[in-house]
Amino acid sequence: MRHILWASCLAVMAGPALADTTLIADLRYGSTATISGTVERITDEDEFRITDASGSVTVYIGPGVVPFDIGEQITVNGIVDREFGRMEIYAREAVRADGSKLSFTHQYE
């Protein structure tokens, strides 16, 4: 029983996951990726910056309002794109540390 409880604690401490995650520094234009990190700042009503040990990237969720708080740990899955030469992710889904999931749709799709 103790081993089961310890494994559960490790899963919670590791944070949310959708699939295998990619480091932000390893993102490639045109791919679909899952990243995990901390919400660094809200940059607009429908976008924010997320950071991990390798860097940071803008995540676009629009249309809508960013539902996360600065400092919140999340995992995001989406399409890697470029805006003005900089990588960004068009989020399709996000998972909070408590396991709750949010889905995002984009008008251009």
User: In CATH, what number is assigned to the domain containing residue 27?
Assistant: 2.40.50.200
What single letter denotes the amino acid at residue 90? Answer: Y
Q: Rounded to 5 degrees, what are φ and ψ at 79?
A: -100, 130
Residue 65 lies in a domain: yes
Residue 86 lies in a domain: yes
> Residue 55 — pLDDT band, cuts 50, 70, 90?
very high
Tokens of 34: 């899952």
Largest CA distance in the chain: 53
pLDDT of residue 85: 83
Residue 9 lies in a domain: no
User: Which residues partner with 103 through β-bridges?
Assistant: 93
Nearest to 72 by CA among 45, 105, 103, 100: 100
Tokens of 11: 């899963």
Residue 46 lies in a domain: yes
Residue 89 lies in a domain: yes
Nearest to 74 by CA among 59, 94, 54, 91: 94
Residue 2 lies in a domain: no
In whole angstroms, give the CA distance from residue 2 to residue 48.
Answer: 40
DSSP label at residue 8: H
DSSP label at residue 54: T
Domain count, the chain: 1
> Residue 18 — pLDDT band, cuts 50, 70, 90?
low
Residue 57 lies in a domain: yes
pLDDT of residue 84: 84
The residue range of the domain holding 29 is 16-103
Residue 39 lies in a domain: yes
pLDDT of residue 105: 87
